[in-house]
Structure 1
Amino acid sequence: MKIKRAEQLRENLHGLAESLGNLLVESFHYLALFAIGGITAWAAVMAFLGMVEKGHITVDDILLLFIYLELGAMVGIYFKTNHMPVRFLIYVAITALTRLLISDISHHHRPDLGVVYVSGAILLLALAILVVRFASSRFPSVQTEAPPGRKRLRRAPSEAEEEA
């Protein structure tokens, strides 16, 4: 009888610790997402104000705003789905490399091997997106049960499914 009671106490303690742990982790999760989203929005506004103050906007500046847009979209998607879209990270990297390439060419006006390296990196990232898209359409993620109070995650439709 005492063993049964001790086992029940252990299970209750385990459940309490798990609930408290989930509360702390989710609290940190939301706090960090709000902080990252706020910092991204603040950086975008400050960059925009710097462009306005400068009096003209370059292609570099526009690409920087696109980077901020993609980062904000990543935070929003992660907040809504609790799933990090790897493709968005690759899009940010491609945009950053394109910005670097345009900046390098417009400021130095001379082609060199660095242009080839950056172009090759952009090509590799584009191929990585192709692989990720193919893998996600061929091997969709498994639907999982959500914790109480949260919506169950669904796989995002592929481009072929969206067109249908």
Structure 2
Amino acid sequence: MRVNKAEKLRRQVHELAESMGNLFVETFHYLALFAIGAVTAWAAVMEFLQMVEKGNISIDDILLLFIYLELGAMVGIYFKTNHMPVRFLIYVAITALTRLLISNVSHHNPPDMGVVYLTGAILLLAFAILVVRYASSQFPSVKIENPHRKTGAGSGEHPEVEKGEL
């Protein structure tokens, strides 16, 4: 009889510790997301104000604003879904490389092999997006129903579940 009480107490302590741990982790998670979102928005506003103060805006500046927009979108998506789409990181990398390419060609030395390397890297990242998109459509992270198979009560399948994306 005492063993049952001890086991029950052990389970209660375990559940309490697990709940407290989840609370602390989720609290840190949301605080960090708010901080990242706020810093991203602040940096974008400061950059925009510098552009206005300068009096002219270049393509580099516009691409930098797109990078901030993509970072903000990543934070928003992660906040809503608790998943980080890998594609967004690749989009940021492509935009950053494009900005670097335009900056190097328009402001610095004449084109050299660096242009080839940068365009190759952009092509490689675009191919990576293609692979990720194909993989997420062919191998979704959430199991989907076969449309040719009947589902009914007790089948264990959920027809309302849609394809997941990486």
TM interval, shorter chain, is 0.7 to 0.9
Paired with 1:97 and 1:42, the residues of 2 have a C-alpha distance of 23
User: Are 2:126 and 1:141 aligned?
Assistant: no
1:15-50 CA distances to partner (integer Å, 9 max, x unpaired)?
Answer: 000000000010001000000000000000000000
How far 1:154 sits from its partner (Å)?
6.4
Structure 1 vs Structure 2: percent identity of aligned residues?
76
Structure with bigger gyration radius: 2
For normalisation by structure 1, the TM-score amounts to 0.87
Local SS of the residue matching 1:140: coil
User: Which residue does 1:70 correspond to in 2?
Assistant: 70
User: Which residue does 2:148 correspond to in 1?
Assistant: none
Alignment of 1:15-164 (within 5 A): 15-142=15-142, 155=163
Q: Which of structure 1's runs of 4+ aligned residues deviate more than 6 A? A: none
Unaligned runs of 5+ in 2: 144-160
Paired with 1:23 and 1:70, the residues of 2 have a C-alpha distance of 29
Paired with 2:62 and 2:38, the residues of 1 have a C-alpha distance of 20
Paired with 1:80 and 1:126, the residues of 2 have a C-alpha distance of 26
Cα RMSD (Å) of the superposition?
Answer: 1.5
Paired with 2:142 and 2:4, the residues of 1 have a C-alpha distance of 37
Q: Which structure has more helix as a fraction of its residues? A: 1
For normalisation by structure 2, the TM-score amounts to 0.86
Q: How has the CA–CA distance of structure 1 residues 122 and 79 changed in structure 2, closer, same or farther, with 3 Å as cutoff?
A: same
User: Which residue does 2:11 correspond to in 1?
Assistant: 11
Paired with 1:154 and 1:49, the residues of 2 have a C-alpha distance of 42
